[in-house]
Amino acid sequence: MRTFILCLLVGAGLAMLVACSLLEPGEPETTASPTPPPAATPTNTPAPVLTPDTAVATPITQTKTTLTIWAPPEIWAASESGQATLNAQLNAYRASHPELDIRVETKSATGQGGILSYLLTGRTIAPDILPDLVALPADQLPGATTDSLIFALDDAIPPTYLEDLYPAGLKLVTVGGKLMAYPFILTQMPHLAYNGAVFTATVPLTWTQFIALPNQSLVFPADGTAGATLLLQMYLDNGGQLLNEAGQVELQVEPLAAALQELRDGRAVGFILPQSSNIQTLEESWQVFQSGQSSFVQTSATQFLRQQQTGQSFGAAAIPGRERPLIPLVNGWAWAVSAQDAAKRPLAADLLTFLIDNENLGEWSQSSGFLPARQGAFFYWPTTDAYVPFISDQLLLADAHPFPSGHPVMAALGGAVFDVISLAKSPQLAAEEAIASLNP
């Protein structure tokens, strides 16, 4: 019994020594306030096990920034291979930018349901669903700029990307001295196509020599927009101006009559097919050409490339002019930044820069059948295609088309071409009446 009591006293002393040793040097001793004894607990209930510094698992949700692209179906799905190429490029961009969610929506380019209409109404009604990057026809850029629907690229595009542009492309996207978009393809590029099995000589450079070719003929849409563009090219080739001293659109009688006389000469010698006056589109002209009724046809680069993809082979040549080939007039499509959120504009510009990289643009344009707006993109086209050096040289000479297809000037020119090719009016009278229709 004495031994048991002694052990209890020794154990109590050791406990006090251990408690004292746990105090930090200099740490003041505290006097515990009296507390009520703990409530009795059943002896068969284990005490809770506490794990110090246990991390509480909290689910973390990572949000992505969404970039939305609007593009018309004629661009997004111009061909199956073109769409597959663009999809692959966007997937590559997504993989290198996991913080972004890239979405593509197709919208019509024109009309009340067109891209500009949606942008104009949507910014006040539903700004959250508007795109950050849009593909627009170049002739819509002035209107989009006026309504502040797109934003200037300023220094967002590397200087080398601008230096590599064909001159006409840069002109198409410059509005009020500012770069409002970046052109990625050039369209409506006019030139001639001919049957190499029928015509084996060199195509003359001047119109007089051209229409004097024996046993040859030309068909073109003299009752359509392409015919009006041909007359506009001839008008400019004859020294015609488009603006008067006050800066207003105005045509001059003498150079217009001279251009119409050239067309009449071609019709008079039988070189221009009479049925040209009944043709409105390039597609109709091509059908006449393919049927063997003519050896030459006015075409566009887009049409020519599509025919190449079918395996057909034709020669290509510039359209002869008064002293040298005519200056081609082109239009195009451009990528524009439309993000309403200013913080997203640099992101949209970076995506734009990726899409217009020479390799990406070259591969997509070739697979889609479009002319790239950058010279370097042609390095990614087949090197064995003789059409590439020809059309690249033509693009270096090309100028931006000054009028959209629905402009009154184009309507007046189209009427004049029809009147002359159908032999309804003389070149002088057709010119005078065309100009009078613009100045009622």
Is 394 inside a domain boundary?
Answer: no
131-145: per-residue pLDDT in tens? 999 999 999 999 999
Q: What is the pLDDT of residue 62?
A: 56
H/E run at residue 362: helix 358-368
Residues 175, 237 within the same domain: no
Q: How far apart are CA 186 and CA 330, in angstroms?
A: 6
Q: How far apart are CA 226 and CA 297, in angstroms?
A: 11
Is 6 inside a domain boundary?
Answer: no
SS3 state at 245: coil
% of the chain with per-residue pLDDT over 90 = 77
- Pick the closest to residue 329 from 225, 176, 180, 181 (CA basis): 225
Label residue 406 by pLDDT band (50, 70, 90). Answer: confident
Is 348 inside a domain boundary?
Answer: yes
Q: How far apart are CA 308 and CA 304, in angstroms?
A: 6
243-290: per-residue pLDDT in tens? 999 999 999 999 999 999 999 999 999 999 999 999 999 999 999 999
Strands (E), 301-394: 315-317, 329-337, 371-372
What is the mean pLDDT of the segment spanning 158-186? 97
Residues 80, 147 within the same domain: yes
77-119: per-residue pLDDT in tens? 999 999 999 999 999 999 999 999 999 999 998 887 889 999 9
Residues 115, 204 within the same domain: no
Is the pLDDT score of 423 beyond 50?
Answer: yes
Is 55 inside a domain boundary?
Answer: no
Is the pLDDT score of 31 beyond 70?
Answer: no
CATH classification of the domain holding 86: 3.40.190.10
Q: Which two tokens stand for residue 335?
A: 């990528």
Residues 323, 340 within the same domain: no
* Count of structural domains, the chain: 2
- Pick the closest to residue 178 from 146, 216, 208, 226 (CA basis): 146
Residues 299, 425 within the same domain: yes
For residue 69, the enclosing domain spans: 65-180+331-387
Which residues pair with residue 329 across a beta bridge? 399
Q: Look-up: residue for tokens 């005078």?
A: 432
Question: Residue 77, class by beta-carbon neighbours within 10 Å (0-12 exposed, 13-18 middle, 19+ buried)?
Answer: middle
H/E run at residue 427: helix 427-438
Q: How far apart are CA 352 and CA 157, in angstroms?
A: 9
% of the chain with per-residue pLDDT over 70 = 86
146-158: per-residue pLDDT in tens? 999 999 998 899 9
Name the DSSP letter for residue 249: B
Is 35 inside a domain boundary?
Answer: no
Q: Look-up: residue for tokens 């001793």?
A: 29
> CA-based angle 84:300:162, to the nearest 5?
65
Residues 314, 205 within the same domain: yes
Handedness of CA 63, 67, 70, 74 (dihedral sign): negative
Residues 98, 148 within the same domain: yes
Residues 295, 405 within the same domain: yes
Is 39 inside a domain boundary?
Answer: no
Q: Look-up: residue for tokens 């009296």?
A: 34
Residues 91, 197 within the same domain: no
Is the pLDDT score of 352 beyond 90?
Answer: yes
* H helices present in 22-146, as ranges: 73-76, 80-96, 115-125, 141-146
Handedness of CA 235, 393, 205, 197 (dihedral sign): negative
Contact assessment for residue 386 and residue 313, using Cβ atoms and an 8 Å cutoff? no
Residues 115, 195 within the same domain: no
Q: How far apart are CA 437 and CA 440, in angstroms?
A: 6
Q: How far apart are CA 342 and CA 127, in angstroms?
A: 13
Is 31 inside a domain boundary?
Answer: no
Q: How far apart are CA 32 and CA 189, in angstroms?
A: 95
Residues 103, 119 within the same domain: yes
H/E run at residue 191: strand 190-194
Contact assessment for residue 413 and residue 434, using Cβ atoms and an 8 Å cutoff? yes
Is 195 inside a domain boundary?
Answer: yes
Residues 336, 215 within the same domain: no
Q: What is the pLDDT of residue 309?
A: 80
Total count of residues recorded for the chain: 440
